[in-house]
Chains A and B, each alone.
Chain A
C-alpha cells in the first residue's frame, strides 16, 4: 500500500498509476487473479472492469496461476539452432512441463520467449529474475535443481 502511494505521487492521475500497480499486485499475488485485480482497483479507486480491461491488454502480465518459479526459455532463431527445442522436450519428459503450463507440484511454470537478447550465448533462459545461458542437456537440470 505504501508503495502504491509512492507510485501515485509520480503520476498525474490514478489511471496512470495502474500499470505499475498491476506489477505490484502480480508480485504479491503471484499472478493477476480476480482478487489481485480487485485489489488494484480498490487501491486506486478505479472501476474493476476498467482495471481488467487494461490488465488483459498487456502481454507482460500473468493471467494464470504460476508455479513458484517461472522459467522463461527462449526458442527464437539462435537458441533454436543451438538446441532449445530439445530442452523444451526434456522439460516435458522430466517434469511434465509444457510451454504455458505449470508442473503438478506447482514448482515450475514455463513460458516460451522470443529472443531475450542473449543470442551469443544461446540457448538462454530466465528463471525468475536470474539469467542463465549456454544451456545444454546436463546443466539445464543442474541449474533448475537449485530452485526448489
Chain B
C-alpha cells in the first residue's frame, strides 16, 4: 500500500502506478500530449510536468512512478510557465492552420494551447515546409502539423504489431513516414489515426466534409464485418455515417479496429443499394410497391406449399443479418410454412465444426473470451491467419506472443510471422500427420484426466504410420506440455477438406490433452447467431436438436414443429436442381457468388418455380430472383449479433431509411399474410419471443445485453449430457497425403466480399484479387510479388496478380472470393466433406506466368 498527496488530496494505491495515473484516480487531470492510455509511456512532450516535493526539477508525471509519501503539485505558476514554454516550442514549426484542419475542435494541441499556451509566438524564423501527402488512398498526412509525440508509432508497433511507420530524419526535419515514403501499404487499421493528437494523420474519407461539432449523434454498435464483433461508434450527420471510431474501454476491442471496421462502412451509402421491391414481369425485374411485392410473395409461397407440400419450400438465412432477422426467417419456415428446410452459410465450415466439437465436449465449448487470449501461455493456430480473418482477435495473439506465450502456427499465418515461435506445416496433405505426431508424443507426457474415456481411447488409438519428412515436433511438444492455459484457434483452412473430421478430431485430442480453450474463427459477423436461432435443418433455437425438444418448442409456440427432416444448404441446392425444391427464400445471402460451381448453383436456382431474394444489393442471386426485396444494411438495423466467443451484442441503427423495413419486419409482414396472428410491432417483440423459445436466452433483455456482458450461457441452460462418440476412420494409419496443387479460398484482410465490394474505401486499398502462393511454387515458376499469372482449373482460367506468402509452405494456391471478377468460386467446384462442411479438395489448379 502506497500513500501520496496530490494537490492536497490523499491517494492510496494498491500497486505502484505512475503519478499521472494516480492523479487520474484522484480525479485530477494532468495535461498530456505524448501519453496515451494503453501505450508505453514515452516522456517526450514534457507537458505533464509536476512538482514533487524534495525533487529539484519538474518531473514528467507520465513516466514517474508514484512512491510512498510523495507530495505532488500539478498546477503551480512554475508548472504553467514550463508548459507554456513547451507549447511555444511546439508551435515554432506548427503551421497553425486550424481553420482548414479537420482536427480542429478535437485537437489536443489546440486545447492545450488554449489553456496554457502563449498568446503569440516570438520566433520569427520561417517554419519548416513539408507538403501534405496524398500518396495514400485513405490516409492523408500533414507532417507540418506533427508534434512528434510518437503515439502513432507506438500504436503501430506495440499494439497493432505492424511496424509500418517510423520517424525518419532528424531534428526539425523529423517526420513520421511509412517505409515507402509514399503509400502506407500497411494493414490500414487506422489505429494511428485514433491516437494522433493533432491533424497530422487523418482519414481521407471524410476530409473537409465536417467539423467535429457537426456530428449530430453518436451511436454505439458492433461492426458488421466479422465474428469478432468489435464495438464502434457511428458518428452520424444528417442520416449519413461521417466516420466510425472505436473507444478506449468500450467493447472487447478496447479502442482498436481493423481496416474493415474502420474504413469499410461506406458500402451502406453506395449508389447500388436497392431502394424498392421488384417483381419479375415479362422477364424483367420491375419496381413495385411493398404491398404488391409482399402480397405476391405470400400468394406464391402459399400456392407452392399447397400444391407440392411445405417440403418444396426452403429458406437460407444470413450470417450478416441479426439474430432477430434469422429467428424470424426460421420461424416463417418452421412454424408458418411448416418445413425444416432452413440453413445458412454457416454450413460452409463453422456450423459443422462447432457441432462436431460440441458432440465431443458439450455445448458451449467455443465460448471463450477473446481478451483472455493475451494472458494465455500458449497459442496454437490451425487453419488460417487470424490476423486476416478476425484481425482484432489476431492482435490478441500478437500480444500474447510478445508477452510470454509460445505461439505455434500450423500452416500459413503471414501476419504472425514476427510473433510465432514455431511455424509448422499445416496444409491439407500434412495436417493430420503433424497433429498426429504431436498427439503421439504428448499423450505420454501429460496426465490424462479420465473425464472423457471415449476420447482418451481415441487418443491412444492415434497412430502415425508415416511421419512428415523433415518435421520434428519434439521441441514443440516440450513447450506444449508446460502450458497451463493454452488457447487453440481453429480456422476454415483445416475444415474444408474431405477428411476434415479426422483433422478436427486430432485437434480435439490436443485440446483435451492440453485442456485448451477453443476459438473457431468466423469470417462473418453472425454465424453463431444463425446456429443459436435455429437456422439449421435439425436444430431449434437455443441449439436444441429437434427430436429432443420438439414438444417443448410446440408448447411455447402453440404451433407444431414439422417432423420431416429438413434439407441443409447443399441439399437444398441439389433438391432445387432435381426439381424437388420449388421455392427458395434467400435472406442476405448470395449463393450464386458465395458457393463454388456457379454453373451448378445457377442451374439449380433456375429450376426453381419461385425465388425470393431479400438483400441490400442486386446480387448475382438477386438477378435471378422472381422477387427482390430491399433490406436494411447493418448500420440501419437494431438487433443483436452473437460473436465467435458467443457474446450477444447490440447492433444499433445509426439512421433508419424510411423506405425499407429491415429483414425481420419484412418477414413478419409476410407471415401475417400467410395467416400468422401474432403481431410483432418492434424488434423487442421478436427478442421477447426468442427468450421464451430458446432455453439459452431465458429472461435476457436488451438492457442486459447493452452492458456488454451477455456471455454464454446467458441466463439460460446449456444443453448437457449429449456428448457422444464420433466415428472417425483411419485414426490408426495416418500418413502424409500426396496432393497436387489445389485452389483454396483466401480470406483477405481488406475485403469480405458482398459488402466490401461496394466499399470505395476498401477498394481503393485493393481493387483486384491476388493469387497467393508459397515460396516453393514462386521459385519453381520464377515469380515475384506483383507478377501477372494465369490460374487454371477445370472450370476455367483467370488472370491475376501474384502475392507471395513466405509462411505458405505447401502447394496450395489461394484466391479470394471478394471481387465480382476473378473470384475463387468462379474457378472452383465443391463437394461435401465427412464433417458436413464444404469440401474443396477437388480443385486442382495450375499457375503459369503470364509473359509480358
Asked if A48 is an interface residue, CB under 8 A from chain B, the answer is yes
Pair B180/A47 contact, Cβ less than 8 Å: no
A77 to B737, CA, bound (A): 76
Which B residues lie within 8 Å of A34 (CB)?
Answer: 179-181
A49 to B161, CA, bound (A): 12
Asked if B163 is an interface residue, CB under 8 A from chain A, the answer is yes
Asked if A52 is an interface residue, CB under 8 A from chain B, the answer is yes
Pair A37/B179 contact, Cβ less than 8 Å: yes
Which A residues lie within 8 Å of B180 (CB)?
Answer: 34
Which A residues lie within 8 Å of B179 (CB)?
Answer: 34, 37-38, 47-49, 51-52
Residues 162-182 (chain B) with a chain A CB within 8 angstroms: 163-170, 177-181
- Chain A positions 19 through 59: 1 when the CB is less than 8 Å from some CB of chain B, otherwise 0: 00000000000000010011000000001111111001111
A38 to B179, CA, bound (A): 9
Least distance between A107 CB and chain B CB atoms (Å): 28
Least distance between A65 CB and chain B CB atoms (Å): 15
Pair B168/A52 contact, Cβ less than 8 Å: yes
Which A residues lie within 8 Å of B170 (CB)?
Answer: 56-59
Pair A49/B169 contact, Cβ less than 8 Å: no
Which B residues lie within 8 Å of A58 (CB)?
Answer: 170
Residues 144-199 (chain B) with a chain A CB within 8 angstroms: 157, 163-170, 177-181
Least distance between A60 CB and chain B CB atoms (Å): 12
**Residue with the greatest number of chain B CB neighbours at <10 A, chosen from A37, A49, A51, A58:** A49
| Cβ-closest chain A residue relative to B165 | A49
Which B residues lie within 8 Å of A53 (CB)?
Answer: 166-168
Pair B163/A47 contact, Cβ less than 8 Å: yes
- Chain B positions 601 through 625: 1 when the CB is less than 8 Å from some CB of chain A, otherwise 0: 0000000000000000000000000
Pair B168/A56 contact, Cβ less than 8 Å: yes
| Cβ-closest chain A residue relative to B176 | A53
Which B residues lie within 8 Å of A51 (CB)?
Answer: 179
A34 to B178, CA, bound (A): 12
A71 to B178, CA, bound (A): 32
A19 to B164, CA, bound (A): 20
Which B residues lie within 8 Å of A59 (CB)?
Answer: 170
Which A residues lie within 8 Å of B167 (CB)?
Answer: 53, 57
Tell me how many residues of B have a C-beta within 8 Å of chain A: 15
**Residue with the greatest number of chain A CB neighbours at <10 A, chosen from B157, B163, B166:** B166
**Residue with the greatest number of chain B CB neighbours at <10 A, chosen from A48, A52, A59:** A52
Residues 683-713 (chain B) with a chain A CB within 8 angstroms: none
A59 to B171, CA, bound (A): 12
A77 to B168, CA, bound (A): 31
A38 to B165, CA, bound (A): 14
A56 to B169, CA, bound (A): 5
Least distance between A51 CB and chain B CB atoms (Å): 8
A52 to B727, CA, bound (A): 56
A50 to B163, CA, bound (A): 7
| Cβ-closest chain B residue relative to A48 | B179
Least distance between B148 CB and chain A CB atoms (Å): 12
Which B residues lie within 8 Å of A57 (CB)?
Answer: 167-170
A17 to B163, CA, bound (A): 18
Q: Tell me which of A37, A38, A49, A56 contacts B178 (CB under 8 A).
A: A49
A49 to B153, CA, bound (A): 10
Which A residues lie within 8 Å of B181 (CB)?
Answer: 34
A49 to B187, CA, bound (A): 13
| Cβ-closest chain B residue relative to A58 | B170
Least distance between A53 CB and chain B CB atoms (Å): 3
**Residue with the greatest number of chain A CB neighbours at <10 A, chosen from B167, B178, B181:** B167
A57 to B179, CA, bound (A): 14
Which A residues lie within 8 Å of B169 (CB)?
Answer: 56-57
A47 to B187, CA, bound (A): 13
Least distance between A131 CB and chain B CB atoms (Å): 28
Which B residues lie within 8 Å of A49 (CB)?
Answer: 163-166, 177-179
| Cβ-closest chain A residue relative to B169 | A56
Least distance between A122 CB and chain B CB atoms (Å): 29
- Chain A positions 110 through 125: 1 when the CB is less than 8 Å from some CB of chain B, otherwise 0: 0000000000000000
Least distance between A125 CB and chain B CB atoms (Å): 25
A26 to B157, CA, bound (A): 26
A103 to B437, CA, bound (A): 64
Least distance between A15 CB and chain B CB atoms (Å): 12
**Residue with the greatest number of chain A CB neighbours at <10 A, chosen from B179, B180, B181:** B179
Which B residues lie within 8 Å of A37 (CB)?
Answer: 179
A52 to B163, CA, bound (A): 11
Which B residues lie within 8 Å of A38 (CB)?
Answer: 179
A50 to B158, CA, bound (A): 13
| Cβ-closest chain A residue relative to B171 | A57
**Residue with the greatest number of chain B CB neighbours at <10 A, chosen from A34, A48, A53, A58:** A53
Which B residues lie within 8 Å of A50 (CB)?
Answer: 163, 166
Which B residues lie within 8 Å of A47 (CB)?
Answer: 157, 163-164, 179, 418
Least distance between B146 CB and chain A CB atoms (Å): 14
A6 to B169, CA, bound (A): 29
A48 to B157, CA, bound (A): 12
A24 to B418, CA, bound (A): 24
A47 to B164, CA, bound (A): 7
A51 to B164, CA, bound (A): 11
A71 to B762, CA, bound (A): 49
A49 to B181, CA, bound (A): 9
- Chain B positions 404 through 422: 1 when the CB is less than 8 Å from some CB of chain A, otherwise 0: 0000000000000010000
| Cβ-closest chain B residue relative to A53 | B166
Which A residues lie within 8 Å of B157 (CB)?
Answer: 47
Least distance between A45 CB and chain B CB atoms (Å): 8
A51 to B163, CA, bound (A): 10
Least distance between B34 CB and chain A CB atoms (Å): 17
A101 to B84, CA, bound (A): 42
A49 to B184, CA, bound (A): 10
| Cβ-closest chain A residue relative to B173 | A56
A52 to B179, CA, bound (A): 6
Which A residues lie within 8 Å of B418 (CB)?
Answer: 47
Least distance between A139 CB and chain B CB atoms (Å): 36
A15 to B699, CA, bound (A): 57
| Cβ-closest chain B residue relative to A57 | B170
A50 to B179, CA, bound (A): 8
Least distance between B547 CB and chain A CB atoms (Å): 56
Least distance between B27 CB and chain A CB atoms (Å): 39
Residues 549-592 (chain B) with a chain A CB within 8 angstroms: none
Least distance between A78 CB and chain B CB atoms (Å): 27
Least distance between B414 CB and chain A CB atoms (Å): 14
A59 to B180, CA, bound (A): 20
Residues 71-125 (chain A) with a chain B CB within 8 angstroms: none
A48 to B165, CA, bound (A): 9
Least distance between B270 CB and chain A CB atoms (Å): 34
Least distance between A48 CB and chain B CB atoms (Å): 4
| Cβ-closest chain A residue relative to B417 | A45
Least distance between A43 CB and chain B CB atoms (Å): 15
Least distance between B217 CB and chain A CB atoms (Å): 38
Least distance between B607 CB and chain A CB atoms (Å): 54
Least distance between B463 CB and chain A CB atoms (Å): 38
Least distance between B191 CB and chain A CB atoms (Å): 15
| Cβ-closest chain A residue relative to B186 | A49
Least distance between A115 CB and chain B CB atoms (Å): 21
Least distance between B432 CB and chain A CB atoms (Å): 31
Least distance between A40 CB and chain B CB atoms (Å): 12
Residues 764-818 (chain B) with a chain A CB within 8 angstroms: none
Chain B positions within 8 Å of A, measured between CB atoms, are: 157, 163-170, 177-181, 418
Q: Give me the 8 closest cross-chain CB pairs, A-B, nearest first.
A: A53-B166, A47-B163, A48-B179, A56-B168, A49-B166, A49-B179, A56-B169, A57-B170
Q: List 17 other contacts, CB 8 Å, given A47-B164, A56-B170.
A: A34-B181, A47-B157, A47-B163, A47-B418, A48-B179, A49-B163, A49-B165, A49-B177, A50-B166, A51-B179, A52-B168, A52-B179, A53-B168, A57-B167, A57-B168, A57-B169, A57-B170
17 contacts between A and B (CB under 8 A): A34-B180, A37-B179, A48-B179, A49-B164, A49-B165, A49-B166, A49-B177, A49-B179, A50-B163, A52-B166, A53-B166, A53-B167, A53-B168, A56-B170, A57-B169, A58-B170, A59-B170
